Structure 1
């Protein structure tokens, strides 16, 4: 990550403010350089134009610090580069990418201005990776600038009212009006000798020389074709599951290998080699990315998982006088913390040889307010409350200071405060847009089928470059870190948009045999194959950090959040709203099919099971899940209930052992089989060990009997057992 800045003016140029220079240095702490140029007018009437360039460097490529601005000794051309060129003309870039690009730009210094411009455009169009740049072509007296076609790096511009001065910068440095983000829809150029009345005007060239307009984000053509009759359901053996793993693995290889070892930070476990950290909410995208990074990184390197939780204004107002708000108990109920710890446990189980560290970043409300003004300045020109909430989470995650938990740490016991040394941060952004992870994708399918779903996905991918990636870049880079987006790799995007929509999300078949949700089903199937069963079945939800300030504005102290997608309760049991809302929540968000009713079990056994098991299983929940006093649960406790339910059903076989007392044959068989599976003997599961079970397998689960089950069959059976347990818990 680097900071770039330039002033182009027909007037005298002054030194940039110290505060702005410091902000640029925060982005690139390894080096700061400056360069000036003067362009003479073509006639005596035309005045001179002054150019003043500033660059700071965060050295992450090559074996040395490439000093910027990069200058050409013979021509005087200058390049200010902020980005990562993973490939150039389809070939991987070895060494420092900024120097490689500058060498290509200067490989044909032609006297003909048009030919020179075509060469510059050809080089810039051939770059794959995130970048923002300023290139002064001294031969053609032209300044080129822009951001990559997806807008993954920040570049702002500000123009004087009379057009005589134009400023470019990675960051505004203050909230002065006039700044705006450079569009990511093309390459811009300013001919410094062709000003009109002293005004500097920019021209735009498309990312594609051919001028094709039907390519999404100038990368590929979106596959709009509907499924034909007899198309197979998206499942583990669908070719796209293996393909997405290959593309994502190659994207990670470019982004996590050959990262220079960062300076060691004194403190606990300072001798561990950690070069990469994951922005880790515990959701599907970041957990899958961390799991595949394990396959790519050398075994000697550790991986940090950074998870942020905030104290709300309400909790801060209710804390005792003199409290610093750093008690971990309040933060552990945050949805991101719950899913983060769950996914951390899964990664440790799936990859026991890797050194994982879960960094729990707990931010008291007072600390949030103390950093608010700085974050507002960093995210400018974005200025909404939602921008601020998201930016605060990214800001503290990038800082990387929190309680460090490693393998063997026990839950929420006190842990030492640590700071991640990693300078490279991985983000799962882009997966929802590419693979259909938003609720609006399901809504589009329900309205107009696959045609509507394809239109919605195409729209989402086409406007990635107009999203908030520039804002995120300004926030995350403040602490001298660089964020990288494996899901926004150009080759992976091309695969995703050319892949049939029903090979990415499968809303036509909401109930998968392995209980895999249709949203982003392709990624969920891959996660399940990589031994991440809980992650594969985690529900999509909004990040909890967006509610920090909303809660601060609630004068009554009542929660302002409704269950997502849940209608108002019309249950007659007005005295027990918690039971009704919880039932709706579990029903809609687990989406478990009624296996008991669908698998041929007698209705009398079903009734007997409900009657005998409901009180006992709910008693287990009452004893094992901490809930506040009162009849109505808040969002926090409802989500906690959901997570604990999932955890118990998959990980604690004793819950199903209790169901053995129900008296129904199917329940006893479920308890017997689930005990074996949860001991992780699925690969060697011999059905013949339980003769009484063999005949019941076909009729109850629909899984073929045989001498040995595969992993898929065993997972299917476990999820059927999980569905039954869920049905038992839901009140009726």
Structure 2
């Protein structure tokens, strides 16, 4: 993970600068190597968290033609890239070989993984920038009075129009004309993405020309899978009534076995890449050649999503290395006549302890480190007001506040965590129908209504949480990696009909995410597969259910002088 920054001065006589407060935030994201470069009317800065390659690669990378800032991970390049080469070095070499823009677009068509980048062509004075098609990494765009900025995170020091860059495609700017922009979209724009583009144009005060689409192959090609025709509702009706017997009966069916095998292969590959592609030393042993401390952690509520990720990580992390399971609990809000509960036994703590014992039973030789993080209301207030609000910006809702704080305190882990990589279960609910609104949609209009709800959820997942989670977790010197939100995993699951992923004829904790629960059951999980979906803000007790999630947070409001 890296903290990248680019400022374009609109006035050649006014030099851009990187404020010390913002520089600190970028350094938190990339504590291993820092470098800045001023060229033409640009200021570029890179702060690198070493994850891939034999050594940390300084950024920006430049030659006499190109300057590259890259933040992210590239996967599925085993046949093209040596394991000892960093992603940014490999990508720079590919870009240097491009002599036409069509060749440049071809590179973006085939690379996979969570990333964002800024590329400057020194000869043509053209700036390219983008977030990957799933919007997994943060890139904020700001229009300042005399400059345009692109940056991983912002503390909003001056009056500015600021927003998360919509992950619509590859943007192209001529440095001598910041009133217009060219967009090569990942795919043809629809109503929702067209609206995002209009919002960007209004905030940045430019006109956008939509050029030919890049069309990444994984977005367009149907998954290489055998067609499946089962219906969970029909299979459930014919299976045993008891929960364990139900799962046993369903797992004995050939149709489900084929689907689960394909899903298992894709998810295991995704997890393997995300735990094996990291530095050989933990965050506290950078000066050493190797260490036996934990390099991987799982943000751990004990639910089905994170328990599956922990079990799969166990398969690919060296046996002698611990795996951290980080669980966060917040002091209960005091109310009239009710004493503050300081026992920390919030719902997510109880399920985390339960699933931790299950992991110990299934993998007794693994050293599982359950890190229990307890946060008082005073600690929450101080960190939110003094620091975390900057990381959540430019988002401003109560929900963003709750989720952002929960992830920050978990990733920070009171300074006890040594991991460089944090595995998240993000995306599982959107893919497998895990939210109450999915059950309600099915109740209203059956599978057609559910399919529309799932599609809507998937379209808005970048804007709802991914960039925010990236900012708060990266601030703690960790790279957030979400194996469920991998190109081929998502492509395969989304190729299944709703009635092949979930079955709301069964109660909560059984029918929602049924296909995923069956997979967890096949791995040996018994307790976690029967846990109801519980949002982290309620399971950790950071939020009160009486709060309105979409209201503007008072802590976040003060960050934006325009609000």
TM-score by structure 1 length?
A: 0.63
- Counterparts in 2 of 1:108-119, with a 5 A limit? 108=98, 110=99, 116-119=100-103
Q: Is 1:528 matched up with 2:524?
A: no
Q: Which residue of 2 aligns with 1:243?
A: 262
Over 3 Å counting, the alpha-carbon distance change for 1:446 and 1:58 in structure 2 is same
Which of 121, 124, 136 in structure 1 is aligned with 2:120?
Answer: 136
Give the superposed CA RMSD.
Answer: 3.2
Q: Which residue of 1 aligns with 2:345?
A: 333
Q: Which residue of 2 aligns with 1:372?
A: 384
Partner of 1:400: helix, strand, or coil? helix
Partner of 2:138: helix, strand, or coil? coil
In 2, the alpha carbon distance for the partners of 1:124 and 1:315 equals 53
Over 3 Å counting, the alpha-carbon distance change for 1:524 and 1:174 in structure 2 is same
Which of 392, 397, 419 in structure 2 is aligned with 1:384?
Answer: 397
Q: Which residue of 1 aligns with 2:428?
A: 431
- Counterparts in 2 of 1:29-108, with a 5 A limit? 29-38=31-40, 50-72=41-63, 74-75=64-65, 77-88=66-77, 94=83, 95-108=85-98
Q: Which residue of 1 aligns with 2:204?
A: none
Greater RCO (CA < 8 Å, at least 6 residues apart) = 2
Over 3 Å counting, the alpha-carbon distance change for 1:10 and 1:213 in structure 2 is closer
Which of 487, 510, 516 in structure 2 is aligned with 1:517?
Answer: 510
Report how far residue 52 of structure 1 moved: 1.0
TM-score by structure 2 length?
A: 0.81
Q: Which residue of 2 aligns with 1:166?
A: 148
Unaligned runs of 5+ in 2: 189-210, 237-246, 548-563
Q: Which residue of 1 aligns with 2:554?
A: none
Report how far residue 230 of structure 1 moved: 10
Q: Structure 1, residues 258-301: CA drift from partner, whole Å, max 9, x if none?
A: 422214479xxx97531100000111100111011112222112
Q: Is 1:154 matched up with 2:123?
A: no
Q: Which residue of 2 aligns with 1:499?
A: 496
- Counterparts in 2 of 1:85-484, with a 5 A limit? 85-88=74-77, 94=83, 95-108=85-98, 110=99, 116-161=100-145, 165-174=147-156, 176=158, 177-193=160-176, 195=177, 199-208=178-187, 218=219, 232-233=235-236, 235-237=250-252, 238=256, 239-260=258-279, 261-264=281-284, 272-314=292-334, 330-373=342-385, 374-401=387-414, 419-484=416-481
In 1, the alpha carbon distance for the partners of 2:167 and 2:376 equals 37
Q: Structure 1, residues 574-594: CA drift from partner, whole Å, max 9, x if none?
A: xxxxxxxxxxxxxxxxxxxxx
Give the number of the structure whose alpha-carbon radius of gyration is greater: 1
Unaligned runs of 5+ in 1: 39-49, 111-115, 320-324, 402-417, 552-558, 562-732
Report how far residue 440 of structure 1 moved: 1.6
In 2, the alpha carbon distance for the partners of 1:460 and 1:18 equals 38
Over 3 Å counting, the alpha-carbon distance change for 1:175 and 1:313 in structure 2 is farther
In 2, the alpha carbon distance for the partners of 1:458 and 1:215 equals 19
Partner of 1:312: helix, strand, or coil? coil
In 2, the alpha carbon distance for the partners of 1:316 and 1:54 equals 51
Partner of 2:180: helix, strand, or coil? coil
In 2, the alpha carbon distance for the partners of 1:433 and 1:166 equals 34
Q: Which residue of 1 aligns with 2:7?
A: 7
Partner of 1:36: helix, strand, or coil? strand
Over 3 Å counting, the alpha-carbon distance change for 1:184 and 1:258 in structure 2 is closer
Over 3 Å counting, the alpha-carbon distance change for 1:80 and 1:536 in structure 2 is same
Q: Answer yes or no: is the 8 Å Cα contact 2:218–2:488 preserved in 1.
A: no
